[in-house]
Amino acid sequence: MTSEQKPAPDQLEVVPGFEHDKIEGWIPQLATEDDVRNALEKAFDYRGDVTITQKDGRQLTGYVFDRRSGNSLATSIVRLLLPSGEKLSIPYSDIAALAFTGRDTAAGRSWEAWLRKYWEKRASGEQNIGIAPEPLE
C-alpha cells in the first residue's frame, strides 16, 4: 500500500486492550508479607472502592489512590481517599484484611466495547459520533 492509499476506517487493525483481573468482591488472604504487598498492588490498580480492616478492628472504605513500598510492612503505606474527601495514610503493618467491595467503574468499558458501539451507531446512520466518554452512572 502506498502512502497515498489509506485503508478504510472500518478495516483498520484493532489491537486488543489490556485485560484486567476481575477482582470485584474478592477478599484476598493476607497470610504473608508478599500476600499483603500483592493485594495492595491490585488495590492500587483497581478502579473501585476497597474496604480495609485494621488490626484494631476499625474498617475504612475508600479508593486507593497511592501506595508507597518500603523495606518493611511498617514503612510501607497505602493512601486511601474516603467518600468524605479525607485522605488517610495507613501502614501496611496495620492492615488485617482487605476486600474489593466497590463496583469496578471501568468493568466492561474496554476499547473494543467502545469501538463496537461506535460502528453500530455509524452503521445505523447516526451522525456526529464523538469520542466522549460514557457517563459512569
* Closest C-alpha to 91, from 73, 110, 70: 73
Q: Per residue in 74-104, pLDDT tens?
A: 999 999 999 999 999 999 999 999 999 988 7
**Domain 23-127: which CATH class?**
mainly beta
Q: What confidence score (pLDDT) does residue 22 get?
A: 74
Alpha-carbon gap, residue 39 to 29, rounded angstroms = 8
Cβ atoms of 137 and 64 within 8 Å: the answer is no
Model's pTM, two decimal places? Answer: 0.64
Q: Which carries the bigger pLDDT value, residue 75 or residue 108?
A: 75
Q: What confidence score (pLDDT) does residue 106 get?
A: 65
Alpha-carbon gap, residue 133 to 43, rounded angstroms = 24
Q: Per residue in 27-82, pLDDT tens?
A: 999 999 999 999 999 999 888 999 999 999 999 999 999 999 999 999 999 999 99
User: DSSP 3-state assignment of 92?
Assistant: helix
List the chain domain ranges: 23-127
Q: How confident is the model at residue 2 (pLDDT cuts 50, 70, 90)?
A: low
